[in-house]
């Protein structure tokens, strides 16, 4: 079963996420995320963090000095 998060979420460390987030997803400095689920909000990438988007984002990508790789879909909000 894929998790569903109904609020903003902070990712720290290394994560692999395949569920749904109804809110913003923030990557803490140095965090790594492989996201193959759905984010209904923004993805905020802090300094030195890395996100690989293989799923869908319905919001904006906000980069504060990290790395963003998109092979999925981003529908800007």
Nearest to 9 by CA among 36, 34, 27: 27
- Tokens representing 39 are 């984010």
d(CA 77, CA 24): 12
Residues 46-70: what's their mean pLDDT? 97
pLDDT-above-70 percentage for the chain:
97
Q: Is the dihedral of CA 54, 4, 30, 26 positive or negative?
A: positive
pLDDT at residue number 2: 77
Global pTM value:
0.94
Q: Indicate the DSSP class of residue 12.
A: -
Sorted by where each begins, the domain ranges of the chain are: 4-72
């Amino acid at each position: 079963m894929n998790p569903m998060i109904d609020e903003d979420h902070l990712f720290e460390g290394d994560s692999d996420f395949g569920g749904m987030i109804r809110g913003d997803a923030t990557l803490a400095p140095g965090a790594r995320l492989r996201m193959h689920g759905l984010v209904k909000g923004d993805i905020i990438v802090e300094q030195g963090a890395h996100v690989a988007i293989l799923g869908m984002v319905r919001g904006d990508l906000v980069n504060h000095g990290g790395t963003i790789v998109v092979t999925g879909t981003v529908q800007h909000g």
